[in-house]
Amino acid sequence: MSEIRFDNRVAIVTGAGVGLGRSHALGLAARGAKVVVNDLGAATDGTGASSQAAQAVVQEIHDMGGQAIANGANVTDPVQVQAMVDEAIDTFGHVDILVNNAGILRDKTFAKASLDDFRVVLDVHLMGSVNCTHALWSHMVGREYGRIVLTTSASGLYGNFGQSNYGAAKAAMLGLMNVLAQEGGRKNVHVNMLAPTAATRMTEALLPPETLDLLRPETITPGLLMLVSEAAPNKMILGAGAGCFTETKVYETAGVALQGDALTPEGVLAALGQIRNPEGQTEMDNAFAQTRKYARMAAEARGLPAPWNE
């Protein structure tokens, strides 16, 4: 198997001053990429700003013989994000890779969380990813090459007490990836998600001390590097932590087709066991695949010809 390299590739990594972002930026640089180290330098709750962390990572890359620049754009500000992209292209000529990693936490139970806290978490995670991706989209499509990673979380995929804002933002990445993977795939712009579990400044207070070394960010970055390589898949959710890697998929059960007197709320409740039976479950390629499935099932239940030739 050939070595994964990023020579002549240019990457933007958001939230790259510390933790996972720093590890990703260093990992890309070590394999030849020129890196834009983006970090607002805010605290974990999104307050404050400083260029010190980003500059330190740039210095680390320079010390290893690589090329990098620091950028302090706030990912929630489209104007600042566009200026960051313009600076990257002016400096390095193009951009091939975008790692959407910037994030904050404002954990509270839903009953105690303010709407402002909810909104700002969504703005950083979701709209921050949208802003950066949108600013680069035409550039990548025009060059017919791009590798984009959205950072999701088990909190969004499975839920985590006290993280309704964070979980909602991270779950939203799924819908964004599903659509962009379809729109970009035909132009060799691949969009994937990374679902990391790491000991970082955002999570270390929540983890038992004995797990901190196991869950170092460096154990996740190899998966990220695969997702932004030339051989990267498209539309994959890669779970990563402690050197362990998994794939998360969304499946739909075979389900039932109700008609006549059974097509009632009571009929749905009575069929719930069959509806939830995982036997025969399948992955939907796109939203219309579900529409075709339901129309086919309904036609078969009524003895009608299949509405589509499959």
Q: Which residues are catalytically annotated?
A: 166
Residue 74 contacts by C-beta under 8 Å, 6 or more apart in sequence? 40, 49, 80
In angstroms, the CA 55 to CA 64 distance is 14
Closest alpha carbon to 25 in 243, 221, 226, 236: 221
β-pairing verdict for 282-283 and 251-252: antiparallel
The CA-atom distances, in angstroms, between 14 and each of 217, 252, 283, 297 are 15, 34, 31, 45
Instruction: Show the tokens assigned to 242.
Output: 């402690």
- The CA distance from 97 to 22, in Å, is 15
- Whether 107 contacts 162, CB under 8 Å: yes
Query: Residue 134 CB: number of other CB atoms within 10 A?
Result: 15
